[in-house]
Amino acid sequence: MIKRPAEMKTDVRDQMRGGSGTTEILNIIPNDELNHARLFSKITLPVGSSIGEHTHLKETEYYYILDGTGIVEEADGEKPVCRGDVVITGDGESHGIRNSGDIPLVFMAVIILDD
């Protein structure tokens, strides 16, 4: 099976998870077509936008930073991220992310179910 860009749907959410600004989500594979996962998307945070802190239960989320710079909030503080970095948030852990740069922050987001 091959998914073409024309088949991929983009959603725009305001103040995602209590964050600021807008979040653009390119759903590469729709959630109802995923096996053992619940998200496979490319996310774009415009300058000044963020995704608020949230907790993952019985799942692990991976962010692979494609472009831009940001700040990730984790239990042990804030950490800068940039192109090539991977953020891993496991079961019971919380995180948030904000664009701290002057260009859009773009990353792949994948949530794998732990069960």
Domains of the chain, by residue range, sit at 5-113
Tell me the CA end-to-end span of the chain in Å, nearest whole number.
25
Average pLDDT score over residue span 74-103: 97
Each residue's pLDDT tens digit, 62-81: 999 999 999 999 999 999 99
pLDDT band at 115 (very low <50, low <70, confident <90, very high): confident
Q: Give me the percent of the chain exceeding a pLDDT of 70.
A: 100
> Which CATH code for domain 5-113?
2.60.120.10
Query: Can you tell me the distance from the alpha carbon of 32 to that of 108, in angstroms, rounded to the nearest whole number?
Result: 18
Each residue's pLDDT tens digit, 28-65: 999 899 999 999 999 999 999 999 999 999 999 999 99
